[in-house]
Amino acid sequence: MSGFKTLTQMVAQAQENLNRGDWDYLVGAADTEASLRRNRQAVESWTFRPRILNDVSEVSYATEFMGANMRIPVLLPPIGSVQAFEAGGGQSVAEAAAEFGILQILSSSCSPDFKTVAAAVPGPRVFQLYLTGDRAWMDHQIQQMIECGYVGLCLTADTQVYSRRERDILKGYVPASGRIAGAGDFNYQATMTWETVAHIKDKFNIPLIMKGVMHPEDANRCVEVGVDVVYVSNHGGRQLDHTRACIDMLPGVVEAVAGRVPVVVDGGFMRGADVVKGLCLGADIVGMGRFEGLAMAAGGPTALVRALEILEHEIATTMALTGVAQLSDLNPSLLERAESIQAPHVLSAFPFLCEGY
């Protein structure tokens, strides 16, 4: 189905299309799933303080990120095992990203591999590398990635070990990315240090994104050692349980970075209003991983493009109704905290699901 009128329809179709194992892998998280729920609760607890009598007849939300033109300030984060939701996997996501006009970060734990995707789908994208080999192996992978035309490298810092995901364990479900993490070679992730970052920056001339930053001191150190993009993320709650919500950590990270490099945030962002909240609090770009996975499960790249079109409309509408016509005018004064009006849930952004829509 590609003729979605709402994102709610997209989510309902995704759930209908997936078996229980793949569905739980998509919507689940680590241990008690407290980090996942807190992400969503925090996004919902930020409320708007709109301004009036501003000319919003033309709302502009296009931007630039890592040298690429971005139709909306949203990127498609790396998803391991995205091929579980649609057979084309990372290549299908790349097709949708290129058609719509935003960046994809391709995961090294999805299929097809980065060489196949680069050959099949022209256009800029970033490659996310899990360390499953020694330094010589890592250097070889990065060099090949550069030769394939990738415009950036992403390292994920919050996967030192693979988490316990009880939804999957209870059913005996092991995704492809889980099988990779279960291999002995994945232990190289646990050896990644600041010296690894320094080595990459010294040896390769390619922008580096550090994903998984949740502390202002780490954000500042990232900039000091040459990281080009600081990415606030708790892996959608899928790694460490009981973390603070990403949107709540965002202002401190933004303050620490102090405009020296772009800041990306993900974690619980599902709707256009959510994106605008992240931008108000200082993010340059918002990542939307489960959104990406749900759209892929609902109908592959065609459905993902349609979902992004709906998201674009929601972003434009939210900006206009807050009295803002330019991204540069979004700021924290447009938000304040308020008590959540519903119990947080991974899909609480879609309240009409329970009504059969």
pLDDT given for residue 173 in this prediction: 83
Residue scoring higher pLDDT (326 or 355): 326
* DSSP letter (8 states) at residue 214: -
User: CB–CB of 59/313 below 8 Å?
Assistant: no
**Mean pLDDT value of segment 92-120:** 97
Q: Is the pLDDT of residue 356 over 80?
A: no
Beta bridge partners of 152: 126
pLDDT grade, residue 158 (50/70/90)?
Answer: very high
What's the number of CA atoms in the CB half-sphere (13 Å) around residue 14? 33
Q: Residue 332 pLDDT > 90, yes or no?
A: yes
Dihedral angle over CA of 289, 83, 211, 349, nearest 10: 10
Q: Tell me the CATH number at 271.
A: 3.20.20.70
Which residue from 113, 127, 85 is spatially nearest to 180, judged by alpha carbons?
Answer: 113
- 342 compared with 134, residue with greater pLDDT: 134
Give dist(CA 289, CA 81) in Å, integer. Answer: 12
Q: Residue 355: which pLDDT band, with cuts at 50, 70 and 90?
A: low
> Does 347 fall in a domain?
no
| Preceding amide of 332 cis, omega within 30 | no
Q: From CA 314, how far away is CA 316, in angstroms rounded?
A: 6
In-domain check, residue 51: yes
Mean per-residue pLDDT for 120-127?
93
Which tokens belong to 316? 């434009």
Q: How far apart are CA 73 and CA 307, in angstroms?
A: 15
* Any domain includes 350: no
Per DSSP, the three-state class of 279 is helix
Is 174 a domain residue? yes
Residue 345 covered by a domain: no
- With respect to residue 93, please indicate whether it lies within any of the assigned structural domains: yes
> For 19-28, what is the mean pLDDT?
93
- Alpha-helical regions (H) of 148-262: 166-171, 176-182, 194-203, 216-224, 246-257
Instruction: For the chain, give the percent of residues with pLDDT over 90.
Output: 83
Residue 160: pLDDT band with limits 50, 70, 90: confident
Note the pLDDT tens digit of each residue in 170-227: 888 877 665 555 444 557 889 999 999 999 999 999 999 999 999 999 999 999 999 9
What is the residue-averaged pLDDT of the chain? Answer: 93
**Tell me, what's the pLDDT at 327?**
98
pLDDT at 171: 84
- The pLDDT value given to residue 184: 47
Rounded to an integer, the average pLDDT of 130-141 is: 94
pLDDT, one tens digit per residue, over 246-268 is 999 999 999 999 999 999 999 99
Supply the pLDDT for residue 164: 81
pLDDT at 245 > cutoff 90: yes
Is 1 contained in some domain?
Answer: no
Count how many domains the chain has: 1
The count of other CB atoms within 10 Å of the CB of residue 152 is 22
Give pLDDT, residue 167. 78
Judge whether 241 and 248 are in contact, CB under 8 Å: no
Query: Could you tell me the pLDDT band of residue 231, with boundaries at 50, 70 and 90?
Result: very high
Q: Is the peptide bond before 112 cis (omega within 30 degrees of 0)?
A: yes
Structural domain includes residue 165: yes
Burial 284-313 (b: 16+ CB within 10 A, else e): bbbbbbbbbbbbbbbbbbbbbbbbbebbbe
- The Cα–Cα gap between 133 and 188 comes to 6
Q: Catalytic site residues?
A: 235
Q: State the residue range of the domain holding 224.
A: 7-338
CA 62 and chain centroid, separation:
18
pLDDT at position 2: 62
User: What is the rounded distance in angstroms from the CA atom of residue 206 to the CA atom of residue 146?
Assistant: 8
pLDDT at 261: 98
